[in-house]
Structure 1
Amino acid sequence: MSDFTTTLTGTINRTCQESITHPFIDQLSSGKLPQATFRYYLIQDHHYLTAFNQLHQLIADHLPEPDATILRHLSEGEDLAREKMHREINLSNAEITAAPVAPTAYAYISHMYYQLNRYGVAAAAAGLLPCYWLYSRVAQKLTGHHSPVPLYQEFFDSYAAADFTASTDQMKEIVNHQASEANLATRQQMQAAFNISCYYEKQFWQMAFEQQEWKY
């Protein structure tokens, strides 16, 4: 089942197309997105990535080598890219810490932990994949459409880079390895976890675009 991720291509293609036409990505590409909106996105993305990185470690603890080592290393580059963006807009750790996790980010994070705790490593790994695959596809699709705002173009460039494409391919292979050893029920749950993560990836754009807040 080395080509398990091939069965996910239709879902990621639809998610990519819906993302490119979403106002958040459209305005990011055109340079029209207010910086306050992008700032909100970076704050919520930091909350998400904190959990995302921890999940890499938790999942890696149950993987064979070399997949375990690869997965542990995969999350490291994301932090470095984000830290540079944070410095460019003077986004402090104190400001990030003070901001609550927004409803959609909270739900997405909860989904990823639920997949690991309820269904196990294979489903959890599949749930991580859309973050890699979607960002890579969106950035590649927008190659040639340069944002007039350097910070926004830097965002796209970081995901169009060869090293991120390589990271995406490595994550796909980890998922394929898990699927090759899984029974039908587990593979079905892997697909479900992937689909739900794709849903939340799209919702994440909308959350950022409207600067979503809790309404009690």
Structure 2
Amino acid sequence: MKTSEILKESAGDLWNKYTRHEFLQKMKDGSLDINTFRYYLIQDSKYVEIMLKSLLTASNKGPIDKVSNILSIIFETRDKGMEVHSWLLSKIGITHEEISKTGFSVSNYAYTRHLYYYATLGWDYFLASWSPCMWGYYEIGTYVKDSPNELYSKWAEFYASDEYKKRVDAILDALDSIQYREELKIPFIDSVKFEIKFWESALNRVETDIQ
């Protein structure tokens, strides 16, 4: 089995809880409260900023061919992602100033620091901690894209797109080039758990923000 397959299998039922969470079921049927989605988008914007910093930190420790492939594909497809993101922010009335002034939710703070920590440990560890997010969102996008709600279907279409799948394929290719080691399960499974917490945080909207 490939390293990615072993890691995904090691997550067991947690993977399904992540990619078919109540938050996503509500997106799919169009019943998710718009303020819940608004909360999610703000926190996700903050997550992406730290995630990219973590990627750059880890990239200094990775093989040049795999790192270059991932970075080039992300930059090649960034316009489409930014276009969808900007459209959503505009539709919902979220400004960049509001995002910068909003604190991290407890779950988001812990998740982004988890990513950065593994980025400082090494490329292998970072890939194991990062791949659940990128890989899972492709499955999620495919699941949600036919939502009757225009906002949710537009959001999901990007993650279900060929452009986004190129990112996922490059990340999994890099992950599968690493020989499987038991210790890679810890960052992978913890990231799946953090993804579940991310959805729950948005649904509940009761967590204290960390500035």
Pairwise mapping of residues 67-216 of structure 1 onto structure 2 (< 5 A)?
67-76=66-75, 77=78, 78-117=81-120, 119-142=121-144, 146-177=146-177, 179-180=178-179, 187-214=181-208
Kindly provide the amino acid, as one letter, of the partner of residue 21 in structure 2: H
Aligned-pair distance for 1:130? 0.5
Task: Report if aligned partners of 2:51, 2:116 keep a CA contact under 8 Å in 1.
Answer: no
Shift of the 142–18 alpha-carbon distance from structure 1 to 2, 3 Å rule, reads same
Number of equivalences:
206
Question: Quick one: distance in 2 between partners of 1:176 and 1:64?
Answer: 13
With the length of structure 2 as denominator, give the TM-score of the two structures: 0.87
Q: In structure 1, what is the equivalent of residue 23 of structure 2?
A: 24
**One-letter amino acid of the structure 2 residue matched with residue 95 of structure 1:** E
Runs of 4+ in 1 over 4 A off after TM superposition: none
Change in Cα spacing, 1:13 to 1:86, as seen in structure 2 (3 Å) is farther
Displacement of 1:189: 2.3
For residues 203 and 108 of structure 1, what CA distance do their matches in structure 2 show? 9
Tell me by how many angstroms 1:87 deviates. Answer: 2.1
Q: Residue deviations 1:142-190, cap 9 Å, x none?
A: 46xx21210111111111111212211110111122x23xxx7xx2222
1:25/1:6 Cα in 2 relative to 1: closer, same or farther (>3 Å)? same
**Paired residue type of 1:126:** A
What is the Cα-based RMSD across aligned positions, in Å? 2.2
Displacement after TM superposition at 1:21 (Å): 4.2
SS in structure 2 of the partner of residue 66 of structure 1 = helix
Cα distance, 1:71–1:58 mapped onto 2, change above 3 Å: farther
**Equivalent position amino acid for 1:82 in 2:** H
User: TM-score normalized by structure 1?
Assistant: 0.86
**Maintained 8 Å contact 2:8/2:15:** no
What secondary structure sits across from 2:64 in the alignment? coil
AA at the equivalent of 2:104: V
Please, which moves more after superposition, 61-70 or 48-57?
61-70
What is the identity, as a one-letter code, of the residue corresponding to 1:106? Y
